[in-house]
Amino acid sequence: MDIPEHDVIVVGAGNAATCAALSAKENGASGLMLEISPELPSAKIVAAAVASCA
C-alpha cells in the first residue's frame, strides 16, 4: 500500500486553516486539509478566508 506524502497537513477548514492551506499551495507545497464536519465549508467562509489572506 502506498502512503501518500504531504508537505503540509492543515487541521480544520475555518478561516485561518484555509489561509494556511492556500498559502502552502501558493508556495508550491503539497497539502492535505482535514475537517471533522461532514459538510464542506460554505462559499462565504472560503471567500472570507481568501479575502483575509490576500
pLDDT digits (tens, 9 = 90+) for 29-53: 998 888 887 766 666 666 776 677 7
- H, E, C per residue of 1-54: CCCCCCCEEEECCCHHHHHHHHHHHHCCCCEEEECCCCCCCCHHHHHHHHHHHC
Average the pLDDT over 9-13 and give the result.
Answer: 88
Q: Where are the domains of the chain?
A: 8-53
What amino acid occupies position 35?
E
pTM, to two decimals: 0.67
Which cell goes with 35?
Answer: 475537517
What amino acid occupies position 34?
L
Q: Are 17 and 53 in contact (CB under 8 A)?
A: no
